[in-house]
DNA sequence: ACAATATAGTTTCAAATGCAACTATTATTT
DNA sequence: AAATAATAGTTGCATTTGAAACTATATTGT
């Protein structure tokens, strides 16, 4: 039984899970230098994209649980990467702001993600990579209405 | 800031993690009727594709940790879905065989996976879905040499 | 043949994650 | 305006998961 046969019936779910695990493992090591775990990566990324959003917005964008967000932000605060501030208009909302320290590591951090992506997708052409990203976007767009 | 902008800079890693989480959550509920968790799904799937492979082979195909495999198989055995047998030639290897019970649930089980896939990819055309699957295969092929 | 190395699997421990129940604040209904 | 419902976040508990160290068997090198 060759390798194509082995994977031929695997579902999308299995692929995504495998890619997630491989990425977690890789990023765990990379994030150690920032004193963070692989799970924090997405939160930093989302905040680089839009600084100052609330925990609830983070939860929605990352498609995770609010508990996970709360704990991730708590850790990021503890490590000095973010500041948390209660919204003046709606006191239920906590706004998360990136610190200087967070911007200081931005380049190294995004490089680590880029490196991982390159490694994971090394078998794809530039064009295929773009197609894959576009399909991912399209999947997400279908969910966010 | 509209939804496209929000996701426009997200990396492949973030997408895969989100898809994995969404799938885990969905499959957790589905797997309850089999007395299993979402993590067992991939092991059953791999065994339906090739019955009687060793734990080590399972670990490699699912791209997980051997600890995770050991525990998953232990649970599947406990629930009567598999039988484990020490290889006669190499006593280090444990071969995992599907039971009748495993084949009995096969249809319902694969249906659950199909349903999830449909739900996740509902925004994609049939053709796009095929492209996505093909790209996933290609990514994996690059890893397995 | 024996020592060193590699491989398959298990055990132990620590970290990540999710669900349910909770508090605090805001919005809606009557 | 008071009661009810909805929303944002937190806490506690249980489950899942992975890394490191371990045991048992097999392979390799001399």
Is residue A100 pLDDT above 90, yes or no?
Answer: yes
CA distances from A16 to A73, A91, B39, B104, B121 (A): 25, 38, 13, 27, 13
> What CA–CA distance (Å, rounded) separates B86 from B79?
19
The three state secondary structure string of A68-125 is: HHHHHHHHHHHCCCEEEEECCCCCCCEEEEECHHHHHHHHHHHHHHHHHHHHHCCCCC
- Residue B1: the pLDDT is 34
- Chain C: nucleotides below 7 Å from protein CB are 7-12, 15-20, 24-27
- Residue B63: the pLDDT is 85
The separation, in Å, between residue B28 CA and nucleotide D14 C1' comes to 15
Averaging pLDDT over each range in A20-24, B20-24, B124-128, which range is the top one? Answer: B124-128
**φ and ψ at residue B99, rounded to 5 degrees:** -90, 175
> What CA–CA distance (Å, rounded) separates B127 from B135?
12
Please compute the mean of the pLDDT values over residues B118-140 and round it to a whole number: 92
CA distances from A40 to A12, A22, A96, A139, B40 (A): 25, 16, 14, 23, 26
- Residue B92: the pLDDT is 94
Using only the alpha carbons of chain B, give its radius of gyration.
17
Residue in B116, B135, B144 closest to A13 by CB:
B116
Is residue A13 pLDDT above 90, yes or no?
Answer: no
**φ and ψ at residue B89, rounded to 5 degrees:** -85, -40
Does the beta-carbon distance from B10 to A141 stay under 8 Å? no
H helix or E strand, kind and range, residue A31: helix A12-31
> What CA–CA distance (Å, rounded) separates B31 from B19?
18
B40 pLDDT band, cuts 50/70/90, is very high
Is residue A4 pLDDT above 50, yes or no?
Answer: no
Is residue A104 pLDDT above 60, yes or no?
Answer: yes
A140 pLDDT band, cuts 50/70/90, is confident
Does the beta-carbon distance from B4 to A141 stay under 8 Å? yes
Q: Is the pTM of this model over 0.85?
A: yes
Residue in A64, A123, A139 closest to B121 by CB:
A139
**φ and ψ at residue A85, rounded to 5 degrees:** -140, 135
pLDDT digits over B28-39, tens only? 999 999 999 999
Share of chain A above pLDDT 70, in %: 91
B5 pLDDT band, cuts 50/70/90, is very low
3 state DSSP class of B97 = strand
The separation, in Å, between residue B73 CA and nucleotide D5 C1' comes to 46
Which of A48, A122, A128, A135 to mutate to probe the B interface, most B CBs <10 Å? A135
What domains are there in chain A, each with its CATH number? 3-114 (1.10.10.10)
Does the beta-carbon distance from A20 to B15 stay under 8 Å? no
Is residue B145 pLDDT above 90, yes or no?
Answer: no
Does the beta-carbon distance from A124 to B136 stay under 8 Å? no
In chain B, residues with a C-beta closer than 8 Å to the C-beta of A50 are 1, 6
Q: Could you tell me the two tokens for B73?
A: 């198989």
pLDDT digits over A67-97, tens only? 999 999 999 999 999 999 999 999 999 999 9
Is residue B7 pLDDT above 70, yes or no?
Answer: no
Cα of B40 to nearest chain A Cα, Å: 11
- Residue B8: the pLDDT is 52
Residues 6 or more apart in contact with residue B76 via CB below 8 angstroms? B36, B40, B43, B44, B82, B96, B102
Does the beta-carbon distance from A137 to B4 stay under 8 Å? yes
CB A111 within 8 A of CB A44: no
Look at A52-61, A80-89, B15-24, B47-56 and tell me which has the smallest mean pLDDT.
Answer: B15-24
In chain A, residues with a C-beta closer than 8 Å to the C-beta of B141 are 3-4, 7, 123
Please compute the mean of the pLDDT values over residues A112-138 and round it to a whole number: 92
């Amino acid at each position: 039984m060759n390798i194509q046969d082995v994977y031929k019936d695997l579902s999308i779910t299995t692929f995504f899970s495998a890619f997630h695990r491989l990425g977690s493992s890789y990023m765990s090591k990379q994030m150690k230098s920032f004193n963070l775990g692989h799970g924090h990566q997405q939160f930093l990324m989302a905040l680089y994209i839009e600084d100052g959003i609330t925990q609830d917005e983070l939860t929605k964008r990352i498609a995770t649980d609010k508990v996970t967000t709360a704990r991730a932000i708590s850790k990021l605060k503890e490590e000095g990467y973010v500041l948390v501030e209660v919204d003046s208009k709606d006191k239920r909302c906590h706004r998360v702001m990136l610190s200087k320290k967070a911007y200081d590591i931005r380049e190294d951090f995004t490089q680590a993600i880029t490196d991982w992506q390159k490694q994971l997708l090394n078998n794809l052409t530039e064009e295929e990579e773009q197609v894959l990203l576009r399909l991912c976007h399209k999947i997400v767009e279908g969910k966010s209405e």
